[in-house]
Amino acid sequence: MLENSVALGNSAQGFFIESQRFKTTYISYNFYLPLEKENAAQFALLPFILTTCGKEYPDFSKLNFKLNKLYSASLSASAEKVGDYQLLKMSISVIDDKYALDGEELVLKAAELLNSLVFLPRTENNAFFSEDVEREKRKAIEHIRGEIAEKRLYARRRLIEEMYKDDIYGTPKCGTEADVERITPENLYKAWEYMLSTASIVVNVVSGVLPNNIFGDIKSQLSGIDRSRAISVLPSRPTRALYAAKHIEEKMDVAQGKLVMGFSAGTSVDDEVGAALTVMCDIFGGGPYSRLFANVREKMSLCYYCSASIEKRKGLLMVDSGVEAQNAKKAEAEILRQLEIVKSGNFTDFEFESSKKSIVNSLRGYGDHQEAVDAWFTIKSAVNSPVSPEDFAKLIEKVDKNAVIEAAKTVKLHTVYMLMPEKSGNGEEEI
């Protein structure tokens, strides 16, 4: 897998990621913007409204007809939170030209379609059309309500809100329902203009062959935009350790309690340090060999599920679990005890080697999916790190126990959030 970079303008880069494993080409526009509470909902809505209609395709039926002519090419959109930034993604997937009839240039036509949607939206008098905005607002509100209904996601979100009350990272990636309601056709248009002129842009092409001038067309589009204020993606502000951990408990009509624990951890833009943090987190709460799964869940039966994840860019390690109310405190204490075991180096060789093998196998599986390859290089390109999944797998293989112990010592309890049933009773298992 080779990565070739092309400058597209101020703080805008194009990357060709070569892979012969696919019969399709995947093209993505990725816009990085600083996470802002006031504007998060507006920016999050943009990828979705831009990929459902445009000036040349004023309704989805016309757009869908165009996609069908491109051998059922598919569009996708997302809005994510990456450290202290919002990542807005718009992408298209189309079969490679060599599989088309009559030598049709499908990839270039798909790229032209995506360019058209990004740069020529359906607008009038410096505003999006109200019917398009209202449609996407309804969908956004349904998404937000869906996350609230899914209590595991809700508990994780509430922990983040409590941990980062004084930090921009506490902002929901798509804003709040009230924020969405305040979006207008006019302020959404201004958000689109701001995105094009200010965002750090990464354009990826994952394919076996780079079509001629595909980046040239994008560069030409960007040349007509004043990008003198374009940002660069900087390291996110690390999670500050607390002298004494916070405890928050809420009650709700749920069958099963949720225990979510947030820890400050070492931040890393250095890939070797990041490798050690990755292994440490996996030994602590990764697969079935991990301390949390084998002991807290299986041996002691204190929870229905219990796992750890880490956001290295923010220095945040999170443990979430489903518990019965009477076991919540015991589970919390045992999770902390298992962390101390990792810090002291008293994990087994089996746990250590199993973790490294699992992570390496996962990394080497990135190449099986174009979306995963795109996501990896989108993140790495934004922070000027050339490390591929294969390269990072080699760093994982070099991690030793001392590095894991040192990584674990940076982990400190910050906030404990409990979502408990209003009435006592046995919970139903959730996986």
Output the CA angle 141-147-148, nearest 5 degrees: 90
Nearest to residue 392, comparing CAs of 275, 313, 280? 275
Nearest to residue 173, comparing CAs of 35, 330, 266, 67? 35
pLDDT for res 69: 95
* Placement of tokens 């590095």 in the chain: 403
Residue 263 pLDDT exceeds 60: yes
Q: Would you tell me the crossing angle of helices 401-409 and 271-285 to the nearest 10 degrees?
A: 80
Q: What is the pLDDT of residues 288-316, one digit of tens each?
A: 999 999 999 999 999 999 999 999 999 99
Residue 419 near residue 158 (C-beta atoms within 8 A): yes
Residue 163 pLDDT exceeds 50: yes
Domains in the chain with CATH codes: 3-223 (3.30.830.10), 246-421 (3.30.830.10)
Q: What is the pTM of this model?
A: 0.94
Residue 429 pLDDT exceeds 60: no
Q: What is the pLDDT of residues 360-390, one digit of tens each?
A: 999 999 989 999 999 999 988 877 777 899 9
pLDDT for res 195: 98
Nearest to residue 411, comparing CAs of 281, 222, 298? 281
Tokens for 295, please give them. 């002991």
What is the rounded CA–CA span in Å between residue 236 and residue 267?
A: 9
Residue 428 pLDDT exceeds 70: no
pLDDT for res 431: 42
Residue 427 pLDDT exceeds 50: no
Q: What is the pLDDT of residues 128-144, one digit of tens each?
A: 999 999 999 999 999 99
Q: Is 74 in a helix, a strand, or coil?
A: strand
Task: Give the whole-number percent of the chain exceeding pLDDT 90.
Answer: 87
Rg of the chain (C-alpha set): 23
Residue 173 pLDDT exceeds 70: yes
Q: How confident is the model at residue 272 (pLDDT cuts 50, 70, 90)?
A: confident
pLDDT for res 108: 94
Residue 14 pLDDT exceeds 60: yes
Residue 328 pLDDT exceeds 80: yes
Mean of per-residue pLDDT scores for the chain: 93
